[in-house]
Structure 1
């Protein structure tokens, strides 16, 4: 018998749930007559269910059956004490154009908070649902004044944001955060919709002043954290660094935040402040691991930005570090970086190869061995020792099956085959990697796979694809000038073939690396005008927009291109960033 009762209850619950879903779907689709029938059934079975009553009232209102909605609310209020229904009743009077009766019922709901501050949950939410925001604000404020343990600053902040009262919104969020510091990431996300990269904008200035006042009144580190975050949004990394130093000086537990700031500045190409931060970490770090990480990042950045004439000086810095810390497992990352520098920048790959083969003799874990072999194989590819490189890549795959580094090794096997012109084997490996657990590897594999599959049938000899692969290999070898020259040959002989768009894009990126920005601009325009249906069209639009915005100082042109992406490439990976940059250039201060 108990089993039968349990089955009946479960069946009844399932029926209710299914009918609820159907009713909501009818309402959502505007089929209010059918929604009304469904909600009447649900309400008749559970007349005191607040959700069903509210939904039935809303359905009556959609059908302009205001009297039926009123009767239902009055009947329900006689049975249960739910002050939120007075708001619903008032709103129904508002729809009947009876403002005095509307306000009367709003006041009844509002006054109920004096009786029990917890009634604010239903009352304020009902006010918000009908965009009666001033009433909602007053309700939350009254409840907090009666019971100091209640904190509705988050809800108030959201309402102020809806009203466009940004300063009050900032203050409410910060008041909430003062008692709930664990919500800092959520608050940052909320703030980001109302800020721009322009530090002089009104909203940015308001938030900065509020935070500075907080630091003076109540010098908690959370305000320095927020202020640092604000400066990062404005790309004012020097001021962010000052805040991060203040945080570290008061809580010197870890330099990770400061290192992260250096990485952000570096990514944004503010190399001067990145160098300054790395220097600070080197002077401040107490543990060897952090010290080596900072040295590694500093030398890597110097390699990227320095003139080749300075490379010997960078080599000397590496050697001094090895004199201090030795060639051991702790300096493994530094050894790999030094080998890469020797091979790809100083053009001494044999020295690099010998160094890494010595490194493999250290007492390394399997994943460390894989890191060394991956770099060693790349250096062998650089020297066109393809077969030996493939052995190392294969060893990684065998020793660390299904790992991310194993998938990376498979990708590099495919890339090596592609460099050699063995497109069939490369494509077979790339097909496997399209479902890689690493999104980055999967994306790289898909890009290379599309390049091969879209161009391998253009002619029987695959001349254009082989030229492109050779140019790609020259770029891999850091021979950018030679790569550009070979791409010119491809563009001259295969100007109308689809691969020309790839050649123009590759060449544009190489021009950017050589700071030949006008030539890069010209190439992007050629893709936009000559290959509007190419898979690289959105890449070209975005790259050109970024060039205008960040390098060439032509924000209006950038804004037009970002806008074009928004309206014509909704499924592009650049859509979100294009929209963000467009709104920033347009001067938006709140989310639309």
Structure 2
């Protein structure tokens, strides 16, 4: 009997839920007569369900049946004590152009807050739903003045944002997290809608002023953290670093935040300030592990920015003299081997050095990291089969790990370098669903390259030549890679690979600071291949080039705009829109 009752209850609940969804769909689609009938039925079954009652009122109002709505509201108010219904009654009078009665009912609703400030939750929400924002503000502020532990700053901030009162919005959000800092990341997302990379943007200036005032009057580290975050959004890493140092000086528990800032600067190619931060870490860190990591990152930056390779090698060796060749310096050993192979072009020396690291008591993961670099060095030497053995060992020993997926991708890429496109493609298909988004994206890009060009001719000459250029780029032989891509562009002009060769070469030219030549490549793509896959990549690359390298913001704006209007599905769409609005000088993003 109980089972039958439960079955009937579940059936009833399911049908009720379906009626609810159908009513909402009718209302959403503007079928208000059907919505009215549905909500009348639902309200009749559950007369104490306020959501159905309000939906019923709104359905009447949409059909301009204001007298019926008024009668229902007055009847409901006489039955139950729910002050927010006076807002609905007031709004109904407003729709009838009876402003006097509307105001009487609005004020009646707010007066209930005097007796019980907790009523402000529902009353304020009803005012918001009817876009009566000033009334909502009055409700929330009154409740907070009467009961100190109520916090409506989040609701107030949202309203101020809708009204365009940015200063009050910032202040309300900050007042909110002062008592509830668990929402700090949500607040940052809200702020991101109003600030930009432009430090002179009015909203940026307002937020900075408020935060500095907070720091002066209430020296909570949260304000320093938010100020650092603001400077990072503006890409003003030096000022962010000053805040991070202030935070660390007062709370010297960990240098993680400082280190994170350094990596952000590196990713943005702001190497000078990144070096300054890593130097600070080497001088401040108490544990050798953090010091070694900072030294390692300093040397990796120097490898990218300096031509004095002899001096750099001496610095590596000096660090090994100081910290030894142990598990504690394993990452530094891998970094040094990479430097020897890819910068000094001494792969044999690099391999010998790194193979000795395998003699340390390594975990499976540590061994995998060493073998991954060893395999990369073997690819540098074009010892593809030996490299594939190492990659395969990593896959076998570290199944389902990110390192294993990276090794699988490198198996595919090595096969591609060899010209074994069929095997490479089969591996890349598996990696498209990798848990690592970066690996999945790289796999998809390489698979599309092979798929789009493997049938161009039976010998796949153009694809093999392009793969050779890709290998040279991997080997850090940029000039040679550019020359081979020139050969592709001359010998295979008009083929499907031409736009990819132009784009790849453009990126390599950028890395050599040959910006005008890179510009020519990108312009060629959007002129001749504007309907192909790389068109949005070329538009975005051009926009970035004009903005960051050639100091031509108007041209940059023009190309960002092209992505906004013509490539809505592009991965660059959100960033292009943000950049475009900043260059246009919008106060709000």
Q: TM-score by structure 2 length?
A: 0.98
CA distance in 1, matches of 2:555, 2:8: 67
Quick check: 1:411–1:433 contact (8 Å CA) kept in 2?
yes
Deviation by residue 1:94-123 (Cα, 9 ceiling, x = unmatched): 111111111111011011111111111111
Can you list the C-alpha shifts for 1:530-572, whole angstroms capped at 9, x where unaligned? 1112211111111111111111111111111111111211111
Give the structure 2 partner of residue 188 of structure 1: 188
Q: Deviations over 1:469-496 (max 9, x none)?
A: 1111111111111111111111011111
Q: CA separation in 1, counterparts of 2:481 and 2:197?
A: 36
State the partner residue of 1:63. Answer: 63
1:464 aligned residue: 462
Shift of 1:4: 4.0
Aligned to 1:322: 320
Query: Partners of 1:393 and 1:277 in 2: how far apart?
Result: 35
1:6 deviates by: 3.6
> Of 329, 339, 342, which residue of structure 2 is paired with 1:341?
339
Partner of 2:110: 110
Aligned to 1:75: 75
**Match for residue 138 of structure 1?**
138
1:575 aligned to which of 573, 576, 581: 573
Supply the distance in 2 between the matched residues of 1:352 and 1:164 (Cα, whole angstroms).
60
Alpha-carbon offset, residue 446 of structure 1: 1.0
Name whichever of 460-469 and 133-142 sits farther off. Answer: 460-469
User: How much does 1:179 deviate?
Assistant: 1.3
TM-score for both structures, normalised by structure 1:
0.98
Residues 531 and 537 of structure 1 are in contact (CA less than 8 Å); yes or no, is this contact kept in structure 2?
Answer: yes
What are the ranges of 5 or more consecutive residues in structure 1 without an aligned counterpart?
A: none
Counterpart in 2 of 1:25? 25
Superposed, 1:409-558 pairs within 5 Å as 409-558=407-556
Rounded Cα–Cα distance in structure 2 between residues aligned with 1:201 and 1:447: 37
Q: Is the 8 A contact 1:545 1:557 kept in 2?
A: yes
Note the residue ranges of structure 2 that are not aligned, 5 or more in a row: none
Shift, 1:219, TM fit: 0.8
Using the alignment, how far apart are the partners of 1:187 and 1:115 within structure 2? Answer: 32
Q: Tell me if 1:566 matches 2:575.
A: no
CA distance in 2, matches of 1:551, 1:59: 57
Offset, 1:156: 0.5
Q: What is the root-mean-square deviation of aligned Cα atoms in Å?
A: 1.1
**Does the 8 Å contact 1:394/1:410 carry over to 2?**
yes
2:259: which partner in 1? 259
- 1:421-471 per-residue CA deviation (whole Å, 9 max, x = no partner) reads 111111111122122222211111111111111101111111111110111
3-state SS of 2:498 partner:
helix
Counterpart residue number, 2:354: 356
SS at match of 2:230: helix
Partner of residue 270, structure 1:
270
Map 1:154-233 to 2 at 5 A.
154-233=154-233
Q: 1:55 and 1:35 mapped to 2: Cα distance?
A: 9
Question: In the TM superposition, what is the alpha-carbon distance from 1:272 to its structure 2 partner?
Answer: 1.1
Q: Report the alpha carbon displacement of residue 11 of structure 1 after superposing the two structures with TM.
A: 2.9
CA distance in 2, matches of 1:16, 1:531: 55
User: Deviations 1:200-255 (Å, cap 9, x if unpaired)?
Assistant: 22111111111111111111111111111111111111111111100000000011
Measure, in 1, the Cα distance between the counterparts of 2:158 and 2:588. 12
Indicate whether 1:370 and 2:373 are aligned.
no
Distance 1:397 1:267 in 2: 29
Task: Write the distance in 2 (CA, Å) between the matches of 1:144 and 1:270.
Answer: 46
* 2: CA distance, partners of 1:407 / 1:226: 36
SS at match of 2:41: helix
Equivalent-residue separation in structure 1 for 2:249 and 2:351 (angstroms): 43
Q: Secondary structure at the match of 2:47?
A: coil
How many residues are paired up? Answer: 589
Q: Which residue does 1:402 correspond to in 2?
A: 400
1:377-388 equivalent positions in 2, closer than 5 A: 377-388=375-386
**3-state SS of the aligned residue for 1:327?**
coil
Residues 475-518 of structure 1, C-alpha deviation per residue, up to 9 Å, x if partnerless?
11111111111111110111111100010000001001100011
Q: Give the C-alpha shift of residue 173 in structure 1.
A: 1.0
**Contact 1:48/1:80 (8 A) holds in 2:** no
**Match of 1:535, SS?**
coil
Q: Give, in angstroms, the shift of residue 2 of structure 1.
A: 4.2
The answer to whether the aligner puts 1:96 opposite 2:96 as a matched pair is yes
Q: How far off is 1:5 after superposition? A: 3.8
Deviation at 1:360, TM superposition (A): 0.7
Post-superposition shift, 1:590?
2.3
Distance in structure 1 (CA, Å) of the matches to 2:439 and 2:203:
40
Aligned twin of 2:242: 242
Query: Once the 2 structures are TM-superposed, how far is the Cα of residue 8 of structure 1 from its aligned partner?
Result: 3.5
Please state how far the C-alpha of 1:3 moved relative to its aligned partner. 4.1
How far apart are the structure 2 equivalents of 1:130 and 1:503? Answer: 57
Q: Aligned partners of 1:588 and 1:158: how far apart in 2?
A: 20
Tell me what 1:129 maps to.
Answer: 129
* Per-residue deviation, 1:313: 0.8
Pair 476,106 (structure 1): closer, same or farther in 2 beyond 3 Å: same
